[in-house]
Amino acid sequence: MVTEVEMTTAMERARIGLCRMIAAGELRPGEALPSEAALCGRFEVSRSSLREAQKMLVAAGALTHHRGGRMTVSEMTPEHVLKGLHMVVPLLPLDRFIDLFPLRELLEGHCAALSAARLDDDSVQRLQQMARELTALEPGDKAQLLDSQYHALIIDGAGDPMISALLETLRKRGREFRIYEDRAHADLKQVSDDAHLAIADAIAARDPESARFLAMNHVRTTRAWLEEIRPGPSLFDAAEVS
C-alpha cells in the first residue's frame, strides 16, 4: 500500500519534472503534454501522482485542462502566469497584504515614470480630467470605479502587460478596503484626490522623476492608512466594484 508520504514525494517529483520540461522549452506554450504513460515512465510515478501534479500546475496557471482530459501548456500570458497569485491575494490577511506594498510602490512609481514619457496627449488630458472629476465625487461605488480607471490608464500607459496584470491583482485587493466610506475617515479622500491631481500634472509636464516620486508616495500613504486604521475587507460583505 502506498503511504501518504510516498504519494507526496512522487507527486512532487512529477511536478518538478513537468516544470523543468516547460522551463527548458521542451514543452512550449500551447503544446500538448506527452501521454500519461510516457510521463509516468519518465518520472517513475503512478498515474494518480502525475494527475495530482498536473492539477497543481493547472491551478498555478502553467497548464490548461481541456475536455476529454487533454492537457496542454498554457499560453503563458500574464493572466495565466499570475493565475495562482490572483487566487491567493484576495485571501491574504491585512498584514500579509501590506507586506506586498513595497513591491506595489516600486511598480506604480515605475509605471508613472514611463507614462510621463509615453502617454499620448489625449490620454494625458483624459487622466487630468479623471483626477478633477474624482475631487467632485463623494466616496462610493462611482468614485471607486473612476479611481480604478485613473490608475489603470497610468499603469497601462507603461506598456508592460505583465506589470499591468500584477498591479491589477494587487489593486483589486486594495479596493476591498473602502476606507473613505467610513465617515470617520472621509477626510482622507481629499488627500488622495490631491495626490491624483499632482501625479496627473507631473505626467502632463512630461516629468518622469516627479511622477515616479508622487506615485510612490501615494502608495506609501495608502499603506500608512491601512496600518493605522486596519479596516476589514468588503470582499465577502458586498458586491465587488468592477
pLDDT tens per residue, range 126-165: 999 999 999 999 999 999 999 999 999 999 999 999 999 9
Q: Nine-digit cell at 201?
A: 500634472
Integer distance in angstroms from the first to the last C-alpha of the chain? 50
Looking at residue 101, its pLDDT comes to 95
Q: Tell the residue number behind the cell numbers 479596493, with chain if given.
A: 175
Alpha helix stretches (DSSP H) within the chain: 4-23, 36-43, 47-59, 78-81, 83-88, 94-98, 101-118, 121-136, 141-157, 161-174, 188-204, 208-229
Could you say which of 3.40.50.300, 3.40.50.620, 1.10.10.10, 1.10.287.3240 is the CATH number of the domain covering 4-76?
Answer: 1.10.10.10
Average pLDDT over residues 220-235: 87
Q: Which fold has domain 93-229?
A: Four Helix Bundle (Hemerythrin (Met), subunit A) (1.20.120)
Q: What is the mean pLDDT of the chain?
A: 90
Q: Is residue 113 pLDDT above 60, yes or no?
A: yes
Looking at residue 171, its pLDDT comes to 92
Torsion of CA 112, 116, 119, 124, to 10 degrees: 90
Q: Is residue 239 pLDDT above 80, yes or no?
A: no
Average pLDDT over residues 226-232: 90
Q: Length of the chain in residues, anyone? A: 242
Torsion of CA 101, 157, 190, 197, to 10 degrees: 130
Looking at residue 234, its pLDDT comes to 66
Residue with the larger pLDDT of the pair 236 and 226: 226
The pLDDT tens digits of the residues spanning 3-36 come to 555 556 899 999 999 999 999 999 999 999 999 9
Domain residue spans of the chain: 4-76, 93-229
Looking at residue 235, its pLDDT comes to 47
Non-local CB neighbours of 17 within 8 Å, separated by 6+ positions? 39, 42, 43, 53
Q: Is residue 189 pLDDT above 90, yes or no?
A: yes
Looking at residue 2, its pLDDT comes to 54
Among residues of the chain, what percentage have pLDDT more than 90? 71
Looking at residue 90, its pLDDT comes to 86
Q: What is the pTM of this model?
A: 0.76
Average pLDDT over residues 68-90: 84
Q: Report residue 79's pLDDT band, with 50, 70 and 90 as the boundaries.
A: confident
Looking at residue 236, its pLDDT comes to 45
